[in-house]
Structure 1
């Protein structure tokens, strides 16, 4: 009996101990599991990044699963983003798109009315850039870039959003990093300075002692000389002689920064019309219901702007019907799609804010005129400069007429003769020609193709651009004749 009691109590004690051991073991397993999960989560959080891609219109790329992509559509159109073949509109501002990790890699494609197919020549994404962003800002792996392009003075419109100038170049560009981070000064192969100095930033130059012998300084000049001539005194001395290369809209620049060009304008014809240009021209002609339009915001900042307004007033006095929009007239463009807004007009006043400044032919001519299928009426650039870059018989130049009244008479004649007006679109019939030496992706308007060209040259020359010295930045920008037509309206 005593033995039986002892055996019962002994077994109960053993069961109790075993249960305690099991509970402890479960606790330890849970603790270890929780520790592993937390550690994995922290590791994932530490490694998680956001990839920001700039997608060009008419471009495509296979995107990785689970990545976060920020699309930056062109300001003039409303592209769409295709996710699992389900399109949805992308806003004008940057838009975050999270791709599902449960799906296979998705194909992203931006589409416009151009409807170009994803062929090799339309791929620009991989030729451009991307940035890897994390919780604390830019995260960059050393193997992601070879050479650094440092923008010391960024354009104001780009400096507002650091992501525009914090990115990698890859693909045909080569591996380069574009940055505004001045801590990379000593490691940078190229340092760029936007425009000319002002009283405020004249002292904001790198110390001469920090410059490597093989480091290239690039003058990134975007404005017309007449607009910056009043700042010339700040250029004397160091700034005048510190540069090696130039990057601007001028054809004689070392790196051309396109405001527009014929080949890129030709590319804007929808793909399904490439072999049927006459049908495309017919469609453009059918939309024409109004005579002329002008959108302008610089009313009197330069004498050139004042002079063009005076010329327009004379056109109106001579009987030209012009719809006027912009800040100068306190009248906003009514439609979001700028091309749709322009389509009904026959003529666009592509009037620049300067007179005879070399090669200064801007988006007013290319984007608002040719690419929108509106015949540009040109004022400001010389006839020679326009003829050198524009398609033949695609525009009307004001200097071909003795007076504003004569120009108005000619425009009215074209308005009443569709067959003559239609001839201004014959350049569309010549078709787009590929050029392996100058891919269309490098001729897009904007700063990115120009930066890509710099990166290409660095990779081609082992990280060192061929030695070159710009004798005088003042002379290059303003010329040596203070009486030139370009500068006269600044005094």
Structure 2
């Protein structure tokens, strides 16, 4: 059977991939769940990960799942209080009670901890947790911006992050299938744009930009550049043919809204700096983006961009994916909370702890 190098995430919500070694078999989970989906596992443990925001993974499905679960959000991310969304209304996920009321700790089925708010010593519940209660570590920052991780061994039961091998996998975005449609692009009057709020001359992305701009014009927006049109990234970038989707640090699976919203939603070809091309191709088609590693120098990249600017046919080939797929940009934070709740409902009573959180996340 021929397996495509890329597939949209259309079936595995809350899928639990292998923690140690991405491609290790999931035989133990299969036996525990008494499932017979060998073909699905072969797909999942090679390189093709399927994801659907509306369906739960067969590997998690539990015929005796409870009617309702309570998820206690111990820290509201970055200390910002906000009204919690309704999982049923927003995502058609039923039986979820989300709360920030810490007095409900004892009856909570799961407690969600946002890493950046934990602090060096951890403001954790004093009471001993029951064997059935799950503590979920949630983090969507890269390892470069995640301090204190070495102190958090043997604390959490599950992980939730952008990493494919998280217990609860929530990417920054994904492509999903749609009915075949004609490719329609906004009018492109400009060449290359970059929106950046954190400028640091020591960062690899700024150093690369400084070299690239010697050979091609790049318009900068954000704190250190021009104002966005109508304060809207998509409206601004839509006028450009290319977008610099440069991540602030380079780590496995760390592919943020810079690709999904800033580039794909704007119908601009992303020029990416992040993990390897192979890693990107797990998530998106190989002909939908340009990786800086494809070129031996910024000068060679600039030459190629000028070539595409003059060759409409070759340029439009980067949007072939738009015939069959559309872009979903993950909504912070309701989508994360509801995904966690949905997974807790379906997971059963398995109990374990993450002994080396830092070792895994920084790998």
Whether the TM-score (by the shorter chain) exceeds 0.5 is yes
Tell whether the 8 Å contact from 2:75 to 2:117 is kept in structure 1 after alignment: no
Residue 427 of structure 1: CA displacement?
A: 1.1
Please list every run of 5 or more consecutive structure 1 residues that lacks an aligned counterpart in the other structure. 1-122, 125-144, 268-273, 433-439, 480-491
Q: Could you tell me which residue of structure 1 aligns to residue 357 of structure 2? A: 473
Kindly state the Cα deviation for residue 242 of structure 1 after the two structures are TM-superposed: 1.0
Aligned residue number for residue 389 of structure 1: 283
1:186 touches 1:211 (CA, 8 Å); kept in 2? yes
Larger Rg: 1
Question: What is residue 265 of structure 2 aligned with on the other side?
Answer: 371
Q: Which residue of 444, 450, 457 corresponds with 2:336?
A: 450
Larger relative contact order, structure 1 or 2 (CA cutoff 8 Å, min sep 6): 2
Structure 2 matches for 1:170-249, cutoff 5 A? 170=88, 172-196=92-116, 199=119, 202-207=121-126, 209-229=127-147, 231-232=148-149, 235-236=150-151, 239-249=152-162
Say if 2:80 is the partner of 1:160: yes
Alpha-carbon separation, structure 1, partners of 2:221 and 2:71: 39
Alignment RMSD: 2.7
Secondary structure of residue in 1 paired with 2:219: strand
Q: Do the aligned residues in 2 keep the contact of 1:256 with 1:450 (CA within 8 Å)?
A: no
* Closer, same or farther: CA 276–189 of 1 in aligned 2, 3 Å: closer
Rate the CA distance shift 1:407–1:162 in 2: closer, same or farther, 3 A: same
1:249–1:360 contact (8 Å) kept in structure 2:
yes
Deviation at 1:383, TM superposition (A): 1.2
CA contact (8 A) 1:225 1:478 kept: yes
Which of 212, 222, 227 is equivalent to 1:315? 212
Note the 1:247-286 alignment, pairs <5 A. Answer: 247-263=160-176, 275-278=180-183, 280=184, 284=185
Q: For this pair of structures, how many residues does the alignment match?
A: 298
The alpha carbon displacement at 1:297 in A equals 0.4
Give the drift of 1:388: 1.0
The gaps in structure 2 that reach 5 residues or longer are: 1-52, 55-66
- Offset of residue 416 of structure 1: 1.0
Shift of 1:179: 1.4
Shift of 1:448: 2.7
> TM-score, structure 2 length as denominator?
0.75
Give per-residue Cα distances to partners, 1:291-326, cap 9 Å, x unaligned: 0000000112x95xx221110010011x21111011
2:73 is aligned with 1:151: yes
Q: Residues 112-123 of structure 1 correspond to what in structure 2 (within 5 A)?
A: none
Contact 1:174/1:459 (8 A) holds in 2: no
1:154 positional shift: 2.3
Q: After TM superposition, give the deviation of residue 213 of structure 1 in Å.
A: 1.4
Equivalent in the alignment of 1:423: 317
- On the 8 A contact 1:257/1:447 being kept in 2, the answer is no
Give the C-alpha shift of residue 173 in structure 1.
1.8
Q: Structure 1 295/422 Cα, relative in aligned 2: closer, same or farther at 3 Å?
A: same
Give the secondary structure class of the aligned counterpart of 1:328.
Answer: coil
Q: Which runs of 4+ in 1 moved over 4 A?
A: 196-199
2:281 is aligned with 1:398:
no
Separation in 1, partners of 2:160, 2:242: 32
Offset of residue 337 of structure 1: 3.9
Aligned equivalents of 2:86 and 2:323: distance in 1?
A: 38
- Report if the CA contact (8 A) 1:194-1:220 is conserved: yes
Q: Which residue of 2 aligns with 1:291?
A: 191
Q: d(CA) in 2 for partners of 1:176 and 1:387?
A: 34
Q: CA deviation at 1:203?
A: 4.4
Residues 258, 445 of structure 1: 8 Å contact kept:
no
Q: Aligned partners of 1:337, 1:277: CA distance in 2, in Å?
A: 26
SS at match of 1:368: helix
The 2-side partners of 1:458 and 1:389 are apart by 25
TM-score (norm 1): 0.56
